[in-house]
Amino acid sequence: MKDKKTIFEVDKNNEDKKQLFIDAAICSLANHGYKGTTVRQIAKYAGVTPGLLTHYYQGKEVLIAESYKYLATQFLDDFQNKINEGMDNPISALRGFFQNIFAPENLGKRYLRVWLAFWTLTLTEESLRNTHSDIYKEYTKSLENILRSAYIHNEQDPSKKNLRSLAVGILAMLDGLWLECCLDPDALSKNDNLAIIYEFVESTTGLKIKTN
């Protein structure tokens, strides 16, 4: 199996130059933040000369917007794939989802730098706002589906629950915990976070999540 490329490394030999620039832009955002992500810095990660950027993209801002769409879509796809794989046991799929979020390789300043840059752009570029909105809707919908399956799996009636509110609440708490973790890595350990999430999810959904 191909080893999974992280967003912190760029394959300079990538023949798809448009994708190469996206990889380089994300990598630069992760390592140097929005301010440090200059055309020259992106070009360095791409192993290319600054002037080439405008040959493939209308400009720097457009490239970063495309990078956002790419990364957000990729995250959603990953999520949905993992969920669909584990649909035979929705509860353990849910558990895997939570654990993955707080896995060390998905935390840290470098990830936060990327999302801070994207959120910042969302405030000014309408196309990004629409991208975010679309992805968020699908995200919640997918989580609703797992919850529904989990209820059925437990022979409970999902129709008695407000699945949407549950999904939105859970995602909000995940975002909040993740944000705090990145801002202050010493504040909460992975186990702290999981315990909090499990407790909240069990209380509100009535589903048994924790393993004994």
Nearest to 173 by CA among 133, 145, 201, 144: 201
Quick check: 65 and 71 in contact, CB under 8 A?
Answer: no
What's the DSSP call for residue 69? H
For residues 110 and 100, give the distance between their C-alpha atoms in angstroms, rounded to a whole number.
17
Please choose which of DNA, its own copies, none residue 187 contacts, taking the beta carbon within 5 to 8 angstroms, the exact cut-off set by kind. its own copies
Axis crossing angle, helix 17-36 with helix 109-122, rounded to the nearest 10: 90
Q: How many helices (H) and strands (E) does the chain have?
A: 9, 0
Figure out which of the listed residues 17, 44, 60, 132 binds its own copies, where binding follows CB under 8 A: 132
Residue 210 touching its own copies (CB under 8 A): no
Please choose which of DNA, its own copies, none residue 183 contacts, taking the beta carbon within 5 to 8 angstroms, the exact cut-off set by kind. its own copies
Residues 151-170: x/- map of binding to its own copies (CB under 8 A)? -----------x--x--xx-
The CB-of-206 to DNA minimum distance in angstroms stands at: 51
Figure out which of the listed residues 1, 4, 51, 126 binds DNA, where binding follows CB under 7 A: 51
Three-state DSSP class for residue 195: helix
Residues in touch with its own copies (CB under 8 A)? 33-35, 109, 112-113, 116, 119-120, 122-124, 129, 132-133, 136-137, 162, 165, 168-169, 171-177, 179-180, 183-184, 186-188, 192, 195-197, 199-200, 203-204
